[in-house]
Amino acid sequence: MPPVKECYLKIASVSKVFFGTGGRPDYEALRDVSLAIEEGEFISIIGHSGCGKSTLMNMLAGLDQPTQGGIFVDGIRITEPGPDRGIVFQNHSLLPWLNVQQNIEMAIATVFPDLPKCDVAQRARNQLERVGLSKHMHKKPSEISGGMKQRVGIARAFAIQPKVLLLDEPFGALDALTRGVMQDDLMNLWEQERKTVVMITHDVDEAIYLSDRIILMSNGPAAHIGEIVNVTLPRPRSREAMLDNPEYDRIRKHLLHYLAHRSDHRNLAKAS
């Protein structure tokens, strides 16, 4: 595999092996994964269960380390979690005893301990306004809907001004209508700030709508990048224009054929 060029987010020849009893190799999740991501790119990762998506996301977040290779943000190797990476999980992970604004304030104060309290509160309010939750800032998480909770999670991630935003199936638990609204919200925020984003998703349409490139993973074990698809749809995007664009149909069919082909291989492997 050719070397990864210098870029903003670099995944360089990363492999990950999990070890069992006695330190013996038990499972090879990823093998020789390399990817160059430019600043401001929106990248989606798609693949069947067991293809190493979550393993890769954990290493991007600094929650785990590669067995071989390295991951770098702006030239600095990732060795642990840090405020340069904001994370939004499928579970909103809000603190239930704090209200919406306080959840965001806590994140800001943790990352910027020297910031005056009035500035912390103002930054939290600004983010809530951007995601349309100003009227709900004093409510507890139990008092708002699932979609609103995810809005708070996204606002919290943007509020700490990360270099990279990591999204681990952030809308997977939402109904289809709410998911569409949240995709639009995320798109609008990204258009304003152009953060570098890496998102795991199982939703092909979501990946096409949001992404600049889509990373298709091979099946595990020893998963690797099977293919990279450039999303050539013009920006800014609207859902209506996308659906009427023949390029959308071409990309969608290509992704579905890839995933169906990998699914057939999985079934054959199980049968044997």
The whole-model pTM stands at 0.90
pLDDT at residue 212, as a whole number: 97
Per-residue pLDDT reduced to its tens digit, 80-121:
999 999 998 877 789 999 999 999 999 999 999 999 999 999
Number of H helices, E strands in the chain: 8, 10
Residue 271 is inside which H or E element, if any? helix 246-271
Residues 6+ apart with CB under 8 A from 162: 83, 84, 85, 86, 195
The position carrying tokens 């509020």 is 159
Using the CB atoms, write b or e for 213-237: b if 16+ within 10 Å.
bbbbbbbbebbbbbeebebebeeeb
Under 8 Å between Cβ of 80 and 26: no
> Count of CB atoms within 10 A of residue 138's CB?
10
CA–CA distances in Å: residue 134 to residues 73, 137, 155? 33, 5, 11
Annotate 236-259 with three-state secondary structure. CCCHHHHHCCHHHHHHHHHHHHHH
- Which tokens in the block code for residue 92? 């909103």
Instruction: Show the low-confidence residues of the chain (pLDDT under 50).
Output: 1-5, 268, 271-272
CATH of 44-65+79-271, one of 3.30.210.10, 3.40.50.300, 3.90.230.10, 3.40.50.970: 3.40.50.300
Check: CB of residue 78 under 8 Å from CB of residue 233.
no
Residue 270: the pLDDT is 54
Please, are residues 218 and 53 in contact by the beta-carbon 8 Å criterion?
Answer: no
Q: What are phi and psi of 226, to 5 degrees?
A: -80, -35
